[in-house]
Amino acid sequence: MDGENLRRELADITKSLRRTLERELHAGGGDLIATAAKQKRKMAAKSGAGTAPAPAAAAEEIDLFGEPAPTKPAKVTPVTAFEAPAPLPALDPGARAAIARAAEPVLAKIAEEVRACRSCALWETRGQAVPGVGSALAGIVFVGEAPGAEEDRLGEPFVGRGGQLLDRIIKAMDDARLIPGLRLDRSTVFIGNVLHCRPPENRVPLAFEVEQSSPHLRRQLEALQPRIICCLGKTAAEHLLGSKASLASMRGRVYRVYGAKLIVTYHPAAVLRNPELKRPVWEDMQLLAREYQTE
Ligand code: URA
């Protein structure tokens, strides 16, 4: 085959692969897309046209939310997402402020509906429903599993011990200026859950409960127009990616859902049980910051 024919054939194969992946994306096949991205990166590296090396990790100077700073820079393996099917939502602070203003009444209405929701039996055992907290200002959304005892008592997500750790993680990101020029705290990011009512004894959510509660999360995400979503733990990742893969295999990859990028990290409760997870979580926050700032 001469050079021109080979070039044409390769272009056809690329087009066809791309169509298949885009179909997968619309069908929720984020896993396949991330895998394809990984494959593409490998091929590019082999051909010498690899992606730029990861910027030096900023973790050296950073107190890992209460732990001593690591002696070595964090090792991060970013995975570039497959070509975005649509541009990411705005990064510019003025445009983000406009998105946040428009989202505010929508989020308030969803919160009202969550508080009135009786779609599954959890309303009978809940103290308070927990709609979510924060804004669309930063364009970053953290999604957990379901409210625990403290959240149920106060009506706000992530206010127990796990929540205090999440606050420290967000503060560490802010202190380290992981995203220069962007203030990060509970008011500029959004923190939500797959379930909006506490399951008795904090048991794992039932499929029916997720089915009834998750449309609230979907509408929140539509209003928030995040640039990046961070799944805290397996329940959020399974739900938003429609994948039963292990959490370890979902980490370090970048997916695309709801027009945003999405990454997966350990749940703060898991980090409280196993402090060794602090370092991988910090690496995930560095990945989040890098992906947030690129298209
Ligand atoms: N764990 C979660 O997943 N969500 C909360 O809001 C609190 C604890």
Q: What is the DSSP string of 99-134?
A: HHHHHHHHHHHHHHHHHH--SSTHHHH-SS----EE
Q: Which of 220, 258, 265 is nearest to 130 (CA)?
A: 220
Atom of ligand 1 nearest to the CA of 236: 3
pLDDT of the residue at 9: 59
Please identify which residue in the block is written with the tokens 């295999």: 249
pLDDT of the residue at 64: 62
- The finding on whether 271 has its CB within 6 A of some atom of ligand 1 is no
Poorest-confidence range of 9-13, 122-126, 132-136, 232-236? 9-13
Count CB atoms within 10 A of the CB of residue 248.
10
Classify residue 238: in a domain, yes or no.
yes
> How far apart are alpha carbons 283 and 289 in whole angstroms?
10
- Both 113 and 31 in one domain: the answer is no
Count up the domains in the chain and report the number: 2
- Both 28 and 138 in one domain: the answer is no
- 3-state DSSP percent of the chain in helix, strand and coil, to 5: 50, 10, 40
- The finding on whether 147 has its CB within 6 A of some atom of ligand 1 is yes
Q: Provide the domain limits for residue 203.
A: 93-292
- Both 145 and 198 in one domain: the answer is yes
pLDDT at position 82 over 80:
no
Q: CATH number, domain at 131?
A: 3.40.470.10
- Both 103 and 206 in one domain: the answer is yes
- Mean pLDDT, all residues of the chain: 83
Q: What is the pLDDT of residues 90-114, one digit of tens each?
A: 999 999 999 999 999 999 999 999 9
- Both 42 and 126 in one domain: the answer is no
- Both 15 and 136 in one domain: the answer is no
pTM of the predicted model over 0.95 = no
- Both 246 and 152 in one domain: the answer is yes
Classify residue 9: in a domain, yes or no.
yes
pLDDT at position 190 over 90:
yes
- The finding on whether 158 has its CB within 6 A of some atom of ligand 1 is yes
